[in-house]
Structure 1
C-alpha cells in the first residue's frame, strides 16, 4: 500500500510538472488539455484520486502560476478553480 501511495503522489507531481512546462513554453492549448484531464480526474476519479488531484496537482500548478503571475481564472476549468478557491480560503482562516 505504501508504494501505491508514493506512486500516485509522484504521478500527480509529475503531471503538475508537465503542465507547468507547457505553461512556461507558451503551449497554452496543451496546458488547457492537461488541466481538462485533471478536471476530469477530479470529477470522476476515486476518492483517493480526487484527494491527490486536489492536494498535489492543484496546489503545485496554482502555486507555480501565482509565482509566474499567470491568471488562474483564465486557465483553470470550473472544478479545479473551485478547488483552488477552497485551498485559498482554508489557508486564510
Structure 2
C-alpha cells in the first residue's frame, strides 16, 4: 500500500470530524486541545492554512454545534472565537 499524501482540505475535514466526535463523547479536555491547535494554525499558518481552518474546519465544527445545540463556544480560544462569531453572524451586526 502506497503512502498517500492528503490535501490540506482533507486533513481539515478529518480534524473537524475528530473534534466533533470528541464533542459527542463529552471529552472537553481534548476538545479544548483541538480548538487550541486550530487557533495556533489560524495564527501562525500561511494564507492557505488560515483559509482551510476558517472555511472548512471552523465551518464544520460551528455548524455541528449549532445543529446539536451545544454550548461550547466559550471553549474557543480568542482568535478562533472571533472567526466563529463571523460564521454564526455573517452580517457583522
- In the TM superposition, 1:1-93 aligns within 5 A as 7-90=7-90
> Which ranges of 4 or more aligned residues in structure 1 deviate by more than 2 Å?
87-93
CA-to-aligned-CA distance 1:15-41 (integer Å, 9 cap, x gap): 000000011011110000000000000
Superposition deviation, residue 87 in structure 1: 2.3
Aligned length: 89
2:89 counterpart SS class: helix
Identify unmatched segments of 5+ residues in structure 1.
none
What is the CA deviation profile of residues 11-70 of structure 1, one whole-angstrom value per residue up to 9, with x for unaligned ones? 000000000001101111000000000000000000100000000011000110111111
TM-score of the pair, normalised by structure 1: 0.86
More helix by share: 1
Q: Give TM-score scaled by structure 2 length.
A: 0.86
Q: CA deviation at 1:90?
A: 2.5
Structure 2 stretches lacking a partner, 5+ long: none
Find the aligned partners of 2:19 and 2:12 in 1 and give their Cα distance: 11
